[in-house]
Copies of this chain bind each other. A is one copy, B any other.
Amino acid sequence: MQKLVEGIHHFQRNYFSQEQKLFETLVEGQYPQALFITCSDSRIDPSRLTQTKPGELFILRTAGNIVPPYGAVHGGEAATIEYAVSALEVKDIIVCGHSHCGAVAGLLNPKLIEKMPAVKSYLQLAESTRRIVEENYAYLTDPQQRLMLTVEENVLVQLESLRTHPSVAAAIGRGKLNLHAWVYEFETGEVFSFDPDKGQYLPIQHRADFAVETAHMLPPI
């Protein structure tokens, strides 16, 4: 804790003044452009990765960046998504998975989580991911490759769950909202974005990112 408390004082002395004007205008309200859904993993920092300032990203973070289908769970995910879309009218939602994700590893290897009943029951919401990988990628035996591929598939599965939320479905219907599937490899700093036309993830481009209409990968050749 000591470190955190000192960090706050460091922030107050050295950074706050530079941003004070920004923060004061933000008292009026927030107008984030996007909802960024990612993992609780301590190695991921969405604001640092996207170099965004306070007020720019509305952020939902839970273990494994899982989005329960609408109605499955009356928890924070549904409320946060609804608030972002209906109250804040964000234009984009990004679901961003990451390399070396412990939750996704638990999905592939239940032993890792057998003493964690709440994690176990939550991962059942990613059962589609597990089956897609099990049924389509049996040949993929290298653990690292398998984990990374599962992370990629999981993001697409969560995009489908996202579409089941009424506020999301309606906004997409009006052409007011785009969904994006990203995977962040923190050890290289690379971000891969799913290209629905090519049916695969590609290094993110300078031009505006792909909006994902059909969220599944092309069957492996």
Q: Which of A30, A64, A74 has the most CB of B within 10 A?
A: A74
Measured between alpha carbons, how far is A116 from B170 in the docked complex, in Å?
Answer: 13
Kindly list chain B residues whose C-beta atoms are within 8 Å of the C-beta of A33: 1, 3-4
Q: How far is the CA of A119 from the CA of B2 in the complex (A)?
A: 35
* B71→A69 contact, CB < 8 A: yes
Q: A75-B77, A83-B63, A131-B170 are in contact. Are A58 and B41 (CB under 8 A)?
A: yes
Is A140's beta carbon under 8 Å from chain B? no
Nearest Cβ on chain B to A58's Cβ, whole angstroms: 5
Across the interface, do A132 and B4 meet the contact criterion of CB distance under 8 Å? no
Contacts of A102 in B (CB 8 A): 30, 83, 87
Report the bound CA distance from A113 to B6 in whole Å: 38
Contact with B along A166-178 (1 / 0, CB 8 A): 1101101111001
**CB closest residue in chain B, given A92:** B1
The answer to whether residues A128 and B164 also contact, given A62-B62, A73-B73, A217-B173 and a CB cut-off of 8 A, is: yes
Chain A interface: which size bin? 35 or more
> Quick check: is A165 within 8 A (CB to CB) of the other chain?
yes
- A163 located at the interface, meaning its Cβ lies under 8 Å from any Cβ of chain B in the complex: yes
User: CA separation between A163 and B79, bound complex, in Å?
Assistant: 22
Whether A60 pairs with B79 at a CB distance below 8 angstroms is no
Known pairs A10-B51, A75-B68; A128 contacts B5 (CB<8 A): no
Chain B residues in 8 Å Cβ range of A124: 71
**Binary interface encoding of chain A residues 72-92 relative to chain B, with 1 for a CB under 8 A from any of its CBs, else 0:** 111111111111101100011
Q: B47 near A48 (CB under 8 angstroms)? A: yes
A129 to chain B, nearest CB (A): 8
Interface 0/1 of A1-17, CB less than 8 Å to B: 11111111111100110
Pick the 9 closest A-B CB pairs, nearest first.
A75-B75, A62-B76, A69-B69, A71-B72, A79-B122, A7-B51, A16-B189, A32-B42, A128-B169
In the complex, besides A4-B209, A5-B208, A70-B118, 12 extra interface pairs with C-beta distance below 8 angstroms are A1-B33, A2-B207, A3-B33, A5-B209, A6-B206, A8-B51, A11-B48, A26-B187, A59-B61, A70-B125, A87-B116, A128-B165
